[in-house]
Amino acid sequence: MDVLSEALARLRELQAQHEPAGPVQHEPTGPVQHEPAGQATPKPTPDAETGVPRDQGSVRVSLTKLDTLLTESGELAVTQLRIAQRLEELRG
């Protein structure tokens, strides 16, 4: 039983490391508007005070990396659930 408790504690530690530090901001969902072909994406506008381009709040991630991350997070969630259920069975 100690092994399961330790494994569950380790899973919680790993989960805490991968949780976002602050609130996650989601962009509103709605119809996607596509840019007409031939138009370039506008460059970030510089901050008036510093002259440095402002953060636009988006990140480009490889589709393969995103797929791997989602798969692993799903597997982690399932494993954590199974361990918690098994721990309850052993305690019960």
How would you write the pLDDT of the chain (92 residues) with one tens digit per residue?
677 778 778 878 877 777 665 565 656 666 656 666 666 666 666 666 666 666 678 888 999 999 999 999 999 999 999 999 999 999 98
76: amino acid identity, one letter = L
The residue segments making up the domain with residue 77 are 61-92
CA dist 5 and 10 (Å) reads 9
What percentage of the chain's residues is helix, strand, coil (to nearest 5)?
50, 0, 50
Tokens 């799903």 sit at which residue?
A: 74
Is residue 33 one of the residues assigned to a domain? no
In the chain, the number of structural domains is 1
Task: List the structure tokens of 67.
Answer: 């797929």
Is residue 46 one of the residues assigned to a domain? no
